[in-house]
């Protein structure tokens, strides 16, 4: 009898493992380690999963008029507690490759929102590196500013129109595609 129970337990565990082989495209955290994915999705997530799950998880509105064959666009989603004006997910044949998040700000609130987002991202990814770019002599909006993490795989940019842009990539823009050797 003991052998039969042991055999049933082994069979149950074996079939349970075989049934759980399918890929889990959704991460639990909103901002996981950049190597795994971004905004709650793994870098291998297909477009169909993002299109169906992102509005459910964030109450975002799909912007079908902006979509192309390899992009999905949404508005009115929250990222790190701030309302976005646009979230753009870009895909290739292997899945999600980049995420662009835009925040509309103005002359009065751009600085507060920039440093709030930078501080929130710094708590997760560590201290960023900074690239200041001066168009004229240090007067806004004639300068832009970029903070970046992990070989520019994640960056936040203050653009000349006072908008903020966050970009996350599955590859390193400095070193090209990342090939997994495992």
Mean pLDDT of all residues in the chain?
82
53 Cβ partners below 8 Å, 6+ apart?
26, 41
Do 42 and 33 form a contact (C-beta atoms < 8 A)? no
Mean pLDDT for the stretch of residues 90-115: 93
Do 91 and 73 form a contact (C-beta atoms < 8 A)? no
Query: CA of 66: how far to CAs of 55, 73, 81, 91, 113, in Å?
Result: 16, 6, 24, 14, 26
- Which pLDDT score, from 0 to 100, does residue 19 have? 45
- Condensed to tens digits (0 to 9), the pLDDT of residues 124-155 reads 999 999 887 655 555 555 567 889 998 899 99
Domain ranges of the chain: 3-169
pTM exceeds 0.85, yes or no: no
SS3 state at 158: strand
Nearest Cα to Cα of residue 97 among 57, 49, 146, 42: 42
- Which pLDDT score, from 0 to 100, does residue 137 have? 55
């Amino acid at each position: 009898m003991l052998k039969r129970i042991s055999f049933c337990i082994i069979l149950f565990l074996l079939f349970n493992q075989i049934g759980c082989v399918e890929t889990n495209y959704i991460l639990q955290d909103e901002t996981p380690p950049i190597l795994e994915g971004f905004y709650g999705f793994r870098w291998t997530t297909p477009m169909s999963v993002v299109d169906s799950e992102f509005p459910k998880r964030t109450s975002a509105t799909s912007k079908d008029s902006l979509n192309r064959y390899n992009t999905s666009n949404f508005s009115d989603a929250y990222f790190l507690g701030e309302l976005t004006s646009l979230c753009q997910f870009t895909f290739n044949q292997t899945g999600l490759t980049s995420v662009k998040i835009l925040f509309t700000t103005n002359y009065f609130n751009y600085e507060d929102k920039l440093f709030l987002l930078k501080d929130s991202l710094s708590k997760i990814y560590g201290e960023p590196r900074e690239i200041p770019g001066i168009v004229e002599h240090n007067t806004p909006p004639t300068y832009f500013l970029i903070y970046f993490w992990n070989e520019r795989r994640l960056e936040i940019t203050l653009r000349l129109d006072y908008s903020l842009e966050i970009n996350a990539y599955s590859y390193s823009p400095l070193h090209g595609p990342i090939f997994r050797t495992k």
